């Protein structure tokens, strides 16, 4: 018994030393302690770099702001404000600071900027008559020093709660880097938790077979499988992993940093989520079992590289396919690690059992759409073109058409496969209208897509009797006639209201099919700036609204070109 304890102690000591060496060597590639905490409260995370999100990896750190907005945000290092971006979704209000050491930091979901920058921004917005902005600045315009106050934190854009989204990018490539590689001192001595292990029959597409769960058990020396030998029914296998990480000072669960797979001590797959671009971030859909994620939000991360996955984080030529055709037992080891160097190890034995082998077949109504080449679909009412980067694995593609029925329908209802297979980039779809040539209703037609709960409408282009548009999700598609204008509704006030201590004026603008496409407000004949979030448009009372009576005119237009106009009067004390 003493010898066994000594053995396991030796393994544990070796893992700790290897982790420390790995962590030190990894962090040495990046300047340590050059950047400071951008907040004045202790740095606690709500999300880390590389977390799995719908259709993207999380590309920075979400820093907790103690559940509050308007905490002061400071420049993480000296440099200059090089870009300002204001948008309804995404980052909301964001500042980019370029630093002399070759990096750029990003601060997002802000409420407001420090006064000189806020004044400059407002002049730009009123000059362009647009709340949304995206412009670059010169080094001499707004230089900053390390620790300088630059903004107040908030909850703007695609944010579900108060926090600061913080990124570090390589200025030259614009690639996002893992900020925790730069020595922010987030305490972390907790290894990742392995929650589940799965295997896939890789004789077939991952969109054709379901993951097979392997039961695991946590032991003092690491993780093992419940069965001493994993018996699989295929000579070609890949693995999937569910795992999460924690830091020592936050209750939140985070994404893992990296993983390695060894078969008989030979490395067969390895990745580290430390450096890639926003353009590549959608490849998250190739790194997870997309169908499982869409159905349950459980992220099974592939420990292999799907044929169409071009994310540059995998070790070259290590595709992660386990060759088991010899039917012999093979030693399996999986190492999961976080950015602080903590590791968890799962070990087992895996073996192909011919007696368990099962064959799968495409359904008779499906077409094989393959990655790496253009795929086309043509039917009586639909044409679709998917480029060579569209799919990550072979898709047993199924489509269908159902003739238009009921008022407001301008084409057949077309089903392009289902919501459980991802598309990497946008594809071109054309639908044939049932409206006669020359019908004035063609000007009111939009193409409408439904993917599960996600709905999207767009004003496509006509090509004869066909309307063309681009989408990046599969689902059901139909041309709809939209003749109803959007609805404008005051929130918390009404016509002829007298505003005293109230700081904001809010309008909710909705459309039956999609978001509004255009919004314009004028106060006493002059353009007035409203901020946008979801369906709400908000004006903060400022110098553009002096005390007295005012006339507010609002015009809202939807995708189909229907316009609603409304006029309000109010008094500002």
pLDDT tens-digit series, residues 218-228: 999 899 999 99
Say what the pLDDT of residue 7 is. 40
CB–CB of 181/257 below 8 Å? no
In Å, how far from its chain's centre is CA 18?
33
Beta strand extents in 171-248 (DSSP E only): 176-177, 193-201, 212-214, 216-219, 222-232, 236-244
**Longest Cα pair distance anywhere in the chain, in angstroms?**
90
Inter-CA distances, 32 with 27, 35, 144, 185, 276, Å: 7, 8, 20, 10, 20
Cα-Cα-Cα-Cα dihedral of 281, 287, 293, 299, to 10°? -100
25 vs 117, higher pLDDT: 117
Q: In what order do the strands lie in the sheet with 413-416?
A: 399-402, 413-416, 475-481, 445-451, 454-458
Contacts 24+ apart (CB under 8 A), 216-222: 216/346, 218/194, 220/8, 221/8, 221/11, 221/12, 222/344, 222/345, 222/346, 222/347
In Å, how far from its chain's centre is CA 192?
22
Say what the pLDDT of residue 316 is. 87
Mean pLDDT of the residues in the chain:
94
Strands 212-214 and 193-201: antiparallel
Has residue 1 got a pLDDT over 70?
no
Q: How confident is the model at residue 332 (pLDDT cuts 50, 70, 90)?
A: very high
Residues in the chain: 573
Say what the pLDDT of residue 534 is. 87
SS3 assignment, position 542: coil
Has residue 113 got a pLDDT over 60?
yes
Has residue 536 got a pLDDT over 60?
yes
CB–CB of 458/538 below 8 Å? no
| % of the chain surpassing 70 pLDDT | 95
Domains of the chain, CATH where assigned = 45-182 (2.70.70.10), 193-356 (no CATH), 367-481 (2.60.220.30), 487-572 (2.60.40.1220)
CB–CB of 444/433 below 8 Å? no
């Amino acid at each position: 018994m003493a010898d066994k304890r000594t053995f396991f102690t030796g393994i544990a000591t070796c893992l700790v030393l290897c982790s420390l060496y790995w962590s030190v060597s990894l962090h040495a590639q990046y300047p340590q302690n050059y950047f400071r905490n951008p907040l004045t409260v202790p740095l606690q995370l709500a999300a880390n770099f590389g977390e799995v999100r719908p259709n993207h990896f999380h590309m920075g750190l979400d820093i907790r702001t103690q559940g509050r907005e308007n905490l002061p945000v400071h420049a993480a290092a000296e440099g200059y404000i090089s870009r300002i971006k204001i948008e309804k979704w995404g980052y909301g209000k964001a500042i980019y600071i370029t630093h002399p050491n070759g990096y750029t930091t990003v601060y997002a979901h802000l409420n407001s900027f420090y006064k000189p920058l806020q004044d400059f921004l407002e002049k730009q917005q009123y000059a362009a008559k647009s709340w949304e902005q995206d412009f670059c600045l010169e080094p001499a315009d707004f230089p900053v020093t390390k620790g300088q106050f630059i903004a107040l934190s908030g909850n703007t854009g695609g944010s579900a709660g108060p926090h600061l989204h913080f990124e570090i990018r390589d200025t030259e490539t614009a690639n996002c880097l893992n900020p925790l590689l730069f020595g922010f001192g987030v305490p972390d001595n907790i290894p990742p938790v392995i929650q589940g292990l799965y295997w896939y029959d890789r004789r077939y597409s991952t969109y054709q077979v379901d993951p097979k769960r392997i039961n695991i058990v946590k032991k003092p020396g690491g993780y093992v499988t419940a069965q001493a030998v994993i018996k699989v029914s295929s000579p070609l296998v890949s693995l999937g992993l569910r795992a999460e990480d924690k830091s020592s000072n936050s209750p939140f669960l985070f994404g893992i940093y990296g993983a390695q797979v060894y078969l008989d001590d030979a490395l067969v797959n390895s990745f580290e989520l430390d450096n890639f671009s926003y353009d590549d971030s959608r490849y998250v859909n190739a790194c997870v079992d997309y169908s499982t994620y869409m159905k349950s939000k459980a992220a099974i991360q592939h420990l292999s590289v799907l044929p169409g996955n071009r994310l540059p984080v995998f070790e070259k030529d290590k595709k992660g396919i386990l060759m088991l055709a010899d039917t012999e037992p093979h030693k399996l080891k999986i190492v999961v690690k976080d950015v602080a160097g903590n590791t968890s190890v799962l070990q087992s034995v895996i073996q192909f059992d011919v007696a368990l082998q099962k064959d799968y077949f495409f359904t008779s109504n499906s077409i094989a759409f393959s990655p790496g080449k253009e795929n086309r679909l043509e039917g009586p009412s639909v044409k679709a073109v998917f480029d060579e980067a569209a799919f990550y694995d072979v898709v047993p593609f199924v489509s269908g058409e159902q003739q238009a029925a009921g008022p407001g329908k301008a084409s057949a209802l077309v089903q392009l496969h289902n919501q459980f297979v991802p598309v990497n980039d946008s594809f071109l779809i054309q639908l044939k209208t049932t409206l006669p040539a020359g019908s004035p209703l063609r000007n009111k037609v939009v193409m409408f897509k439904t993917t599960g709960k996600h709905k999207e409408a767009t004003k496509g282009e006509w090509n004869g009797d066909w309307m063309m548009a681009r989408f990046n999700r599969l689902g059901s598609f139909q041309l709809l006639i939209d003749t109803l204008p959007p609805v404008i509704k005051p929130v918390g006030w009404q016509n002829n209201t007298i505003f005293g201590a109230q700081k904001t004026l809010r309008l909710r603008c909705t459309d039956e099919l999609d978001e509004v496409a255009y919004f314009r407000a004028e106060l006493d004949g002059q353009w007035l700036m409203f901020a946008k979030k979801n369906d709400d448009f908000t004006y903060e009372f400022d110098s553009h609204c002096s005390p007295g009576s005012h006339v507010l005119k609002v015009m809202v237009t939807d995708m189909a070109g229907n316009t609603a106009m409304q006029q309000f009067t109010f008094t500002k004390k």
